Amino acid sequence: MLSLAAASFPIHHNRLILYRTTPSPPFTVRSSASGGVQEIQESFTPPPSTPQDGEISSELFVSAPFPPIKGAKRVVLVRHGQSTWNAEGRIQGSSNFSVLTKKGESQAETSRQMLLDDSFDICFSSPLTRSKRTAEIIWGDREEEILTDSDLREIDLYSFQGLLKHEGKEKFGDSFRQWQLDAPNFSIDGHYPVRELWARARNCWDRILEHESRSVLVVAHNAVNQALVATAIGLGTEYFRILLQSNCGVSVLDFTPRAEGGSPYICLNRLNQTPSSPLASGGGRKASKRIVLVCHGTMQGSAGDQGMNMLGIIQFVFFGYLQSQKIAELLLDLQVSTIISSTEDVSVDTSVAISRVQEAADCLGADCVPRYVELKRSKDLDATDILQQLNEEGSEGQLLRPGFLNRFDDESLSALWDQSGKAWETLLNEVSDESDPEKVAVVVSHPAVHIALMGHCLKLTKEWMGSFHLDAGSISVVDFPDGAAGRGVIRCINYTAHLGRWAIPITRPTADDEEF
């Protein structure tokens, strides 16, 4: 029997967010039926251990509102460096028997160098040795004490911990297979590890946001960092293993207070920015199909802007050219099959620069045959309505702040969302070509379009678009380890290191700076 009552607490990002935790008696979910928000009380029944074919169970508990914040806050998540059990292929879970390898120490030192000039007020760390040591290396000689939080430990995997993967398969059979194929519903020793992890991550956010700090470093683990990102932007346990976290990969979340108080606005500024190229293997399953989203070159005004003198035009063109060349050089690690761009000039110019470098990459001898890269253009990748509003309001580059899509009217966002949905279907068809077993498609367009494309990849709705941010010249990578018909795995979002030392600051540059 269901009882309904009016609910009035703030809904995070104005959308329904439900999280599942371990089985317990009655729970509360929120329903937006009939245009209003309703509260439903009912008893919890654990889902079957194996879902129906192709179905992802997402019966999740409601997330309590995030605590209000007084000012803008940025949280930087870092996964620990390579550990001895990483290298051995052992299942670590929340065990504390592995330590950093020499490679792991070196990765942590590289992260320290990259974050050396960034301003952090506090560091939270998992208490496990591999994470705590990484935090100590990155934190360096800063005076503030590192705060350890037990809820930041890695996912609890109980009887699996310490086993090599083949041992887990041999010893646990169907249970291990469920862990591989249906982790959100995986249970062992009377526990649902992924559900417990999501609950822990949500608890961590209360302590992180309630701390009197504006810039926070969090050093933890692969699974828990995935859960922190997911719970922050409102994604359930079915997104486990979809948001990749490599060793010492950096993810950044921006929290902005609401004028009326309550849960802050939350934006994922970048995901899994690593010291090495985002195109190199490292973490995650091997994929033969890949889509690389390239945000076209500089958007600091336009060469056609009224009042721009000849020097300004030359600087604009030259800076845009340099960005395009740096993007093209980064993509040399790939054999690109197709480049699809919007019809806008800046996207076309960037795609041509990439294709020229790709086609010349293998042509070092007199008798060589240049690699052929197919160039295509698609109006479905244009950002006409968004660009029009940006041009009406001023310099586009200054307006592309985290969560900038929140400020546009619903009609423009709906048009962008519907148009990008068509583009996403086209891209999936492009990479599904079985005649090319290593299909890599590069897509060049405006950041707003790429945000929408990632939303379609993650099977979200247009209301989520304000939860992601991309910068001009950035790279985002989507892998398809199960082929184009399978789920896309986000390898990285908003990678900018190829443009310079991090290019876009990870944290605010000075303690007194009011803007990130």
Mean pLDDT of 116-135: 95
Widest Cα–Cα separation across the chain: 79
How many angstroms separate the CA atoms of 43 and 26, rounded? 4
Can you give the pLDDT at residue 392? 67
Q: Which of 192-206, 209-223, 290-304 has the lowest mean pLDDT?
A: 290-304
User: Percentage of the chain with pLDDT > 70?
Assistant: 75
**Residue bearing the bigger pLDDT, 355 or 126:** 126
How many angstroms separate the CA atoms of 384 and 347, rounded? 13
CB atoms within 10 A of CB 472: 23
Q: Rounded to two decimals, what is the model's pTM? A: 0.83
Q: 30-49 as b/e, with b when 16 or more CB fall inside 10 Å?
A: beeeeeeeebbeeebeebee
Mean pLDDT of 246-255: 95
Q: How confident is the model at residue 311 (pLDDT cuts 50, 70, 90)?
A: very low
Q: Is the pLDDT assigned to residue 7 strictly greater than 90?
A: no
Task: For residue 69, give the nearest of 263, 234, 324, 353 by alpha carbon.
Answer: 263
Name the β-bridge partners of 292.
Answer: 442, 477
Q: Which of 88-102, 260-274, 359-373, 425-439 has the lowest mean pLDDT?
A: 359-373
The CB-side HSE value for 506 (13 A sphere, CA atoms) comes to: 30
What does the pLDDT look like over 400-431, one tens digit per residue? Answer: 677 788 888 888 899 999 999 999 999 999 99
Q: How confident is the model at residue 330 (pLDDT cuts 50, 70, 90)?
A: confident
**Residue bearing the bigger pLDDT, 387 or 488:** 488
Which residues belong to the annotated binding site for substrate? 79-86, 130, 165
Task: For residue 92, give the nearest of 138, 45, 126 by alpha carbon.
Answer: 126
Q: Is the pLDDT assigned to residue 21 strictly greater than 50?
A: no
Place of tokens 């887990």: 168
Q: Is the pLDDT assigned to residue 398 strictly greater than 90?
A: no
- Asked if 266 contacts 254 with a C-beta cutoff of 8 angstroms, the reply is yes
Can you give the pLDDT at residue 15? 40
Q: Is the pLDDT assigned to residue 305 strictly greater than 70?
A: no
Residues in the chain: 516
Q: Is the pLDDT assigned to residue 272 strictly greater than 50?
A: yes
Which amino acid does the sequence have at 129? T
Question: Annotated catalytic sites, by residue?
Answer: 80, 154
Task: For residue 467, give the nearest of 230, 238, 260, 118 by alpha carbon.
Answer: 230
Can you give the pLDDT at residue 169? 94
Q: Is the pLDDT assigned to residue 280 strictly greater than 80?
A: no
Q: Is the pLDDT assigned to residue 436 strictly greater than 90?
A: no
Mean pLDDT of 497-505: 63
Mean pLDDT of 442-469: 95
Mean pLDDT of 457-476: 94
Distances in Å between the Cα of 383 and the Cα atoms of 101, 356, 387, 419, 445 are 46, 25, 6, 9, 8
Q: Which of 200-204, 264-268, 512-516 has the lowest mean pLDDT?
A: 512-516
**Residue bearing the bigger pLDDT, 45 or 133:** 133
Strand spans (E) along 44-173: 61-62, 73-79, 122-125, 146-148
Tokens of 332: 């040399």
Can you give the pLDDT at residue 276? 75
**Residue bearing the bigger pLDDT, 342 or 319:** 342
The torsion angles phi and psi of 79, rounded to 5 degrees, stand at: -85, 150
Can you give the pLDDT at residue 430? 94
Q: Which of 156-170, 382-396, 460-474 has the lowest mean pLDDT?
A: 382-396
Can you give the pLDDT at residue 217? 98
Q: How confident is the model at residue 290 (pLDDT cuts 50, 70, 90)?
A: very high
User: Percentage of the chain with pLDDT > 90?
Assistant: 56
Q: Is the pLDDT assigned to residue 245 strictly greater than 80?
A: yes
Distances in Å between the Cα of 248 and the Cα atoms of 83, 109, 137 are 11, 10, 12
In terms of average pLDDT, the best of 23-37, 315-329, 364-378, 433-447 is 433-447
- Cα 122 → chain centroid: 23
Mean pLDDT of 209-219: 96
Q: Is the pLDDT assigned to residue 313 strictly greater than 60?
A: no
Q: Is the pLDDT assigned to residue 31 strictly greater than 70?
A: no
- CA dihedral of 151, 152, 157, 158, whole degrees rounded to 10: -50
Task: For residue 256, give the nearest of 226, 203, 214, 227 by alpha carbon.
Answer: 214
How many angstroms separate the CA atoms of 317 and 476, rounded? 24
Task: For residue 93, give the nearest of 205, 189, 181 by alpha carbon.
Answer: 189
Q: How confident is the model at residue 501 (pLDDT cuts 50, 70, 90)?
A: low
Helices (H) and strands (E) in the chain, counts: 13, 17
The CB-side HSE value for 382 (13 A sphere, CA atoms) comes to: 10
How many angstroms separate the CA atoms of 299 and 515, rounded? 19
How many angstroms separate the CA atoms of 63 and 48, rounded? 23
